[in-house]
Amino acid sequence: MNADSRQHCLQRAYLRLAISFTPLLIVGWLVWQGWVGAAVFLFCVVLTTITIGTLVPRCALFGRMIKRLPQAGNRVLLTIDDGPHPQHTPAILDILDRHHIKAIFFLIGDLAAEHPELVRDIIARGHEVGNHTQTHPATTFWALRPAGLWREIAGCQETLTSICPEHPPRLFRPPAGHHNMFTALVAQSLGLKMMLWNARGFDGVVQNVSFVRQRIHSRLKAGSIVLIHEATPIAIEVAQSVTTMLAQSGLECSTPPASFTFGDDEVVVEGRAAP
């Protein structure tokens, strides 16, 4: 990626980091003045705000994100995380073909580098690939500093673009949806929009296909962004169940066309907690 873009992005990110310490200076000043109660209150408010903004996946406190499609029309979007997988990806692609459904596959860079033929097959069958970081550090991604975020996001972007140079990712999804005050800034510097979801069944942690399907079904409506996963013990069963439900729903399930730019009017910020 362009070195100037990286430098400019990191400068802005570290400036944001420096500014974020301002409340701590105020806390220290309050303690020095003897207003300990006020200092504790301010510290708790700041800590709680940062925690919510970081760990609640669909909280847009630290940057704009796509959480649903525009309500105009009858479209829903199926997104599939954590591939490519040597067994699951081909099976899921066949399932999608049978139901005439197109999806966005959010791919992990290291896995894509191991299975570039699967990435090409996803594109060849009319689907879209998205950036899901290079190594998928799900438990630590929220704690990465700007340089680490750049390595993860830019690394995946380079990997996927090198495999399919005519179809570079335009969307980014953080692992587990966790993100910090620098994530959106890094993604935007790489020309990416951050996409989350509003209909998921927790198939990454729950091994019950019926539960997953029912939970997604209860949230399914025009504009929904559905999330399922590869690389789980029930991945193929979930893909079959959910795609059957989508095919029977009467909703159009396809990827937005290349001309669809996800401008500001498509970036929907909701105050509702993550499902």
Cα–Cα dist 105/144, whole Å: 24
pLDDT value of residue 54: 82
pLDDT value of residue 262: 57
Beta bridge partners of 253: 76
pTM, whole model, 2 decimals?
A: 0.88
pLDDT value of residue 118: 98
pLDDT value of residue 237: 98
Long-range Cβ pairs for the range 17-20 (8 Å, 24+): 17/145, 17/146, 17/181, 17/182, 20/50, 20/181
Q: b/e string for 29-43 if b means 16 or more Cβ within 10 A?
A: ebeeeeeeeebeebb
Distances (CA, A) of 45 to 40, 49, 143, 179: 9, 6, 19, 19
Q: Is 194 helix (H, G, I), strand (E, B) or coil?
A: strand
pLDDT value of residue 268: 42
CB 97 within 8 A of CB 240: no
pLDDT value of residue 3: 85
pLDDT value of residue 72: 59
CA 227 to chain centre: 10
CB 268 within 8 A of CB 67: yes
Q: How many CA atoms lie within 13 A of 246 on its CB side?
A: 32
pLDDT value of residue 2: 76
Domain assignments of the chain as residue spans, ordered by start: 1-256
CA angle 60-181-200, nearest 5°? 40
CB 203 within 8 A of CB 231: no
Q: What is the DSSP letter of 256?
A: P
What type of residue sits at position 79? T
CB 171 within 8 A of CB 192: yes
In tens, the pLDDT along 24-73 reads: 899 999 999 999 999 999 999 988 988 888 888 878 888 889 998 876 57
pLDDT value of residue 236: 98
Which residues of the chain carry a pLDDT beneath 70?
1, 71-72, 258-275
Helical spans, DSSP H, in the chain: 3-20, 22-32, 36-55, 88-99, 109-114, 116-124, 146-163, 183-189, 209-219, 235-248
pLDDT value of residue 270: 40
Tokens of 80: 């599939």
pLDDT value of residue 26: 93
- Residues acting as catalytic residues: 81, 229
Domain 1-256 CATH class label: alpha beta
